[in-house]
Amino acid sequence: MAYEWKFNPRPYSDEEAKKLLAPVIDAETTDWHYNTHHKGYVTALNTIEKGLESADRAAANGNYSTVGELKRRMTWNHAGTLLHDIYWDVMGGDGDVSKGPDIKAAIEKQFGSLDAWKVDFKAAAVSAKLSGWGVLVFDMLYSKRLLNVLVDEHHYGAIWGGIPLIPVDVFEHAYYHKDGPKRAAYIDNFLAHLHWGRINARYVKYAK
Protein backbone atom coordinates (compact mmCIF):
# COMPACT_ATOMS: atom_id res chain seq x y z
CA MET A 1 0.00 0.00 0.00
CA ALA A 2 1.29 3.45 -0.92
CA TYR A 3 2.48 5.73 1.87
CA GLU A 4 0.00 8.51 2.66
CA TRP A 5 1.40 12.00 3.14
CA LYS A 6 -0.53 14.23 5.52
CA PHE A 7 -1.67 17.82 5.03
CA ASN A 8 -0.60 19.24 8.37
CA PRO A 9 -2.67 21.87 10.18
CA ARG A 10 -1.32 25.31 10.93
CA PRO A 11 -0.98 26.40 14.59
CA TYR A 12 -4.01 28.66 14.05
CA SER A 13 -7.34 28.30 12.27
CA ASP A 14 -8.07 29.70 8.82
CA GLU A 15 -10.10 32.49 10.39
CA GLU A 16 -7.38 33.29 12.92
CA ALA A 17 -4.83 33.40 10.10
CA LYS A 18 -6.62 36.33 8.46
CA LYS A 19 -5.97 38.50 11.52
CA LEU A 20 -2.68 37.07 12.77
CA LEU A 21 -0.95 37.22 9.39
CA ALA A 22 -2.46 40.53 8.21
CA PRO A 23 0.77 42.51 8.72
CA VAL A 24 2.56 40.13 6.33
CA ILE A 25 0.05 38.83 3.76
CA ASP A 26 -3.56 39.66 2.96
CA ALA A 27 -6.58 37.61 4.02
CA GLU A 28 -7.14 35.98 0.63
CA THR A 29 -3.53 34.85 0.43
CA THR A 30 -3.71 33.27 3.90
CA ASP A 31 -6.48 31.08 2.49
CA TRP A 32 -5.47 30.02 -1.00
CA HIS A 33 -1.75 29.88 -0.32
CA TYR A 34 -2.43 27.25 2.34
CA ASN A 35 -5.59 25.51 1.14
CA THR A 36 -4.69 25.46 -2.56
CA HIS A 37 -0.93 25.80 -3.12
CA HIS A 38 0.33 24.06 0.00
CA LYS A 39 -2.35 21.38 -0.07
CA GLY A 40 -1.57 20.80 -3.74
CA TYR A 41 1.95 19.64 -2.90
CA VAL A 42 0.58 17.04 -0.49
CA THR A 43 -1.97 15.85 -3.04
CA ALA A 44 0.81 15.51 -5.61
CA LEU A 45 2.99 13.53 -3.18
CA ASN A 46 0.21 10.99 -2.72
CA THR A 47 -0.35 10.76 -6.48
CA ILE A 48 3.37 10.18 -6.95
CA GLU A 49 3.44 7.48 -4.26
CA LYS A 50 0.68 5.58 -6.07
CA GLY A 51 2.46 5.98 -9.40
CA LEU A 52 5.72 4.66 -8.00
CA GLU A 53 4.02 1.43 -6.92
CA SER A 54 3.61 0.36 -10.53
CA ALA A 55 6.38 2.32 -12.29
CA ASP A 56 8.73 0.16 -14.33
CA ARG A 57 12.18 0.44 -12.74
CA ALA A 58 13.74 -1.51 -15.60
CA ALA A 59 12.77 1.29 -18.00
CA ALA A 60 14.75 3.93 -16.07
CA ASN A 61 17.29 5.89 -18.11
CA GLY A 62 18.96 9.29 -18.22
CA ASN A 63 16.70 10.80 -20.90
CA TYR A 64 13.14 10.03 -19.85
CA SER A 65 11.30 7.42 -17.84
CA THR A 66 8.13 7.43 -15.79
CA VAL A 67 9.96 6.38 -12.64
CA GLY A 68 12.55 9.12 -13.15
CA GLU A 69 9.97 11.86 -13.56
CA LEU A 70 7.99 10.65 -10.56
CA LYS A 71 11.09 10.70 -8.37
CA ARG A 72 12.05 14.14 -9.70
CA ARG A 73 8.64 15.57 -8.87
CA MET A 74 8.69 13.90 -5.47
CA THR A 75 11.70 16.03 -4.55
CA TRP A 76 9.89 19.21 -5.65
CA ASN A 77 6.65 18.45 -3.84
CA HIS A 78 8.28 17.09 -0.70
CA ALA A 79 10.44 20.20 -0.31
CA GLY A 80 7.46 22.45 -1.03
CA THR A 81 5.36 20.71 1.58
CA LEU A 82 8.00 20.75 4.29
CA LEU A 83 9.01 24.38 3.81
CA HIS A 84 5.38 25.51 3.86
CA ASP A 85 4.73 23.58 7.08
CA ILE A 86 7.51 25.53 8.78
CA TYR A 87 6.66 28.83 7.03
CA TRP A 88 3.18 28.87 8.57
CA ASP A 89 4.58 27.75 11.92
CA VAL A 90 7.04 30.63 12.27
CA MET A 91 4.52 33.34 11.37
CA GLY A 92 1.75 34.83 13.46
CA GLY A 93 3.87 36.15 16.30
CA ASP A 94 4.56 39.57 17.78
CA GLY A 95 8.21 39.62 16.77
CA ASP A 96 9.47 39.58 20.37
CA VAL A 97 12.77 37.71 20.10
CA SER A 98 13.07 37.49 23.91
CA LYS A 99 10.49 34.69 23.66
CA GLY A 100 13.14 32.61 21.88
CA PRO A 101 16.17 32.83 24.17
CA ASP A 102 18.03 29.79 22.84
CA ILE A 103 17.75 30.63 19.15
CA LYS A 104 18.45 34.31 19.91
CA ALA A 105 21.70 33.37 21.65
CA ALA A 106 22.67 31.07 18.79
CA ILE A 107 22.00 33.74 16.16
CA GLU A 108 23.98 36.34 18.09
CA LYS A 109 26.89 33.93 18.50
CA GLN A 110 26.97 33.08 14.80
CA PHE A 111 26.14 36.45 13.21
CA GLY A 112 27.24 38.91 15.89
CA SER A 113 23.79 40.41 16.42
CA LEU A 114 20.17 39.88 15.52
CA ASP A 115 20.30 42.87 13.17
CA ALA A 116 23.33 41.47 11.36
CA TRP A 117 21.50 38.17 10.91
CA LYS A 118 18.46 39.97 9.49
CA VAL A 119 20.62 41.82 6.95
CA ASP A 120 22.14 38.55 5.72
CA PHE A 121 18.84 36.66 5.78
CA LYS A 122 17.10 39.41 3.81
CA ALA A 123 19.92 39.50 1.25
CA ALA A 124 19.58 35.75 0.69
CA ALA A 125 15.79 35.95 0.33
CA VAL A 126 15.88 38.97 -1.99
CA SER A 127 18.46 37.23 -4.17
CA ALA A 128 16.39 34.10 -4.81
CA LYS A 129 14.80 33.77 -8.22
CA LEU A 130 11.18 34.81 -8.75
CA SER A 131 10.28 31.43 -7.26
CA GLY A 132 12.33 30.52 -4.21
CA TRP A 133 13.02 30.80 -0.50
CA GLY A 134 15.36 32.34 2.02
CA VAL A 135 15.98 29.88 4.87
CA LEU A 136 17.82 29.98 8.18
CA VAL A 137 19.09 26.43 8.63
CA PHE A 138 21.14 24.58 11.21
CA ASP A 139 23.90 22.74 9.33
CA MET A 140 23.59 19.59 11.43
CA LEU A 141 25.72 17.15 9.44
CA TYR A 142 28.70 19.34 8.61
CA SER A 143 29.68 22.65 10.21
CA LYS A 144 27.11 22.70 13.07
CA ARG A 145 26.54 26.38 12.25
CA LEU A 146 23.50 28.48 11.51
CA LEU A 147 23.44 29.46 7.84
CA ASN A 148 21.19 31.67 5.75
CA VAL A 149 20.58 29.71 2.58
CA LEU A 150 19.23 30.89 -0.77
CA VAL A 151 16.96 28.26 -2.34
CA ASP A 152 15.63 28.55 -5.88
CA GLU A 153 12.26 26.87 -6.41
CA HIS A 154 11.88 24.53 -3.41
CA HIS A 155 15.13 22.60 -3.53
CA TYR A 156 17.92 24.02 -5.70
CA GLY A 157 20.54 25.22 -3.23
CA ALA A 158 19.21 23.31 -0.23
CA ILE A 159 21.86 21.89 2.08
CA TRP A 160 22.03 18.19 2.87
CA GLY A 161 21.51 17.78 6.60
CA GLY A 162 20.34 21.35 7.02
CA ILE A 163 17.45 21.70 9.47
CA PRO A 164 15.14 24.54 8.31
CA LEU A 165 14.36 26.89 11.18
CA ILE A 166 13.01 30.04 9.52
CA PRO A 167 11.92 29.82 5.87
CA VAL A 168 10.40 32.76 4.01
CA ASP A 169 8.51 31.95 0.81
CA VAL A 170 9.48 34.41 -1.94
CA PHE A 171 7.52 32.86 -4.77
CA GLU A 172 5.66 35.82 -6.24
CA HIS A 173 2.27 34.36 -5.27
CA ALA A 174 3.28 34.65 -1.60
CA TYR A 175 3.33 38.44 -1.52
CA TYR A 176 2.19 40.04 -4.81
CA HIS A 177 -1.48 40.22 -3.80
CA LYS A 178 -0.57 42.58 -0.93
CA ASP A 179 2.81 44.11 -1.77
CA GLY A 180 3.13 43.77 -5.54
CA PRO A 181 6.80 43.64 -6.57
CA LYS A 182 8.01 44.95 -3.19
CA ARG A 183 9.65 41.73 -2.06
CA ALA A 184 11.95 43.51 0.38
CA ALA A 185 8.99 45.12 2.19
CA TYR A 186 7.28 41.73 2.47
CA ILE A 187 10.44 40.21 3.98
CA ASP A 188 10.71 43.09 6.47
CA ASN A 189 7.11 42.49 7.57
CA PHE A 190 7.76 38.75 7.80
CA LEU A 191 10.77 39.30 10.06
CA ALA A 192 8.89 41.79 12.22
CA HIS A 193 6.10 39.31 13.01
CA LEU A 194 7.91 36.04 13.68
CA HIS A 195 6.72 33.71 16.41
CA TRP A 196 9.99 33.30 18.27
CA GLY A 197 8.48 30.92 20.82
CA ARG A 198 7.72 28.30 18.16
CA ILE A 199 11.04 28.96 16.41
CA ASN A 200 12.86 28.42 19.70
CA ALA A 201 11.02 25.15 20.33
CA ARG A 202 12.04 23.88 16.88
CA TYR A 203 15.66 24.90 17.41
CA VAL A 204 15.81 23.17 20.80
CA LYS A 205 14.15 20.04 19.45
CA TYR A 206 16.23 19.54 16.32
CA ALA A 207 19.37 21.62 16.52
CA LYS A 208 20.53 22.35 20.05
Query: What are the structural domain ranges in the chain?
Result: 25-90, 97-206
- Fold of the domain spanning 25-90: Helix Hairpins (1.10.287)
> For the structural domain made of 97-206, what CATH number should be given?
3.55.40.20
Nearest to 131 by CA among 87, 183, 88: 183
The reported pLDDT for the residue numbered 46 is 98
Q: How far is CA 51 from CA 73, 138, 189, in A?
A: 11, 33, 41
Per-residue pLDDT of the chain (208 residues; tens, 9 = 90+): 899 999 999 999 999 999 999 999 999 999 999 999 999 999 999 999 999 999 999 999 999 999 999 999 999 999 999 999 999 999 999 999 999 999 999 999 999 999 999 999 999 999 999 899 999 999 999 999 999 999 999 999 999 999 999 999 999 999 999 999 999 999 999 999 999 999 999 999 998 8
Q: pLDDT value at position 59?
A: 96
Q: What is the pLDDT of residue 208?
A: 80
CATH topology identical between 25-90 and 97-206:
no
Identify the pLDDT of residue 67.
97
Backbone angles phi, psi at 65, to 5 degrees: -155, 155
Exposure string of 81-92, with b = 16+ CB inside 10 Å and e = fewer, is bbbbbbbbbbbb
What does the pLDDT read at residue 156?
93
